[in-house]
């Protein structure tokens, strides 16, 4: 039985992710060995892998989807900090409010909240 799935994101400079993932998304440092830094929190979640032909409404498939409880606040903070919003904040017919943003490493990230 699979217990956990970890996303390993290649980064030449680990500190580039700090503002985006630690400060705005409020993930904690769980491990830092200098060459690898693991962020997370104590929330329990189910194991999921999604495979997609497109990202919904014919958008590009995002690299990661991150569910939050304050999508509007995070959207406005991402805008204020100058992150590239690729798909504006939208209520989707499948029951999520979401936006796509480029993280500091160039990855397309889907930030969403269930309605």
- Among 2-6, 10-14, 64-68, whose mean pLDDT is lowest? 2-6
Run of H or E residues at 73: helix 71-80
pLDDT per position as a tens digit, 44-69: 888 899 999 999 999 999 999 999 99
Indicate the pTM of the whole model. 0.93
Q: Which fold has domain 14-114?
A: 2,3-Dihydroxybiphenyl 1,2-Dioxygenase; domain 1 (3.10.180)
Tokens of 73: 């606040």
Which residues have CB under 8 Å from 102's CB, separation 6+?
A: 83, 84, 86, 108, 109
CA pair distance 55, 12, nearest whole angstrom: 27
């Amino acid at each position: 039985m699979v217990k956990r799935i970890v996303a390993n994101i290649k980064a030449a400079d680990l500190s580039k992710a700090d503002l985006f993932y630690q400060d705005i998304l409020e993930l904690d440092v769980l491990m830092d060995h200098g060459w690898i830094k693991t962020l997370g929190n104590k929330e329990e979640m189910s194991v999921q892998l999604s495979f997609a032909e497109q990202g919904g409404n014919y958008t590009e498939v995002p690299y990661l989807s991150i569910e939050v409880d304050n999508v509007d606040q995070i959207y406005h903070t991402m805008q204020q900090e100058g992150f590239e919003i690729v798909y504006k904040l939208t209520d989707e017919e499948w029951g999520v409010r979401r936006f796509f943003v480029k993280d500091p490493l160039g990855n397309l990230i889907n930030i969403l909240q269930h309605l």
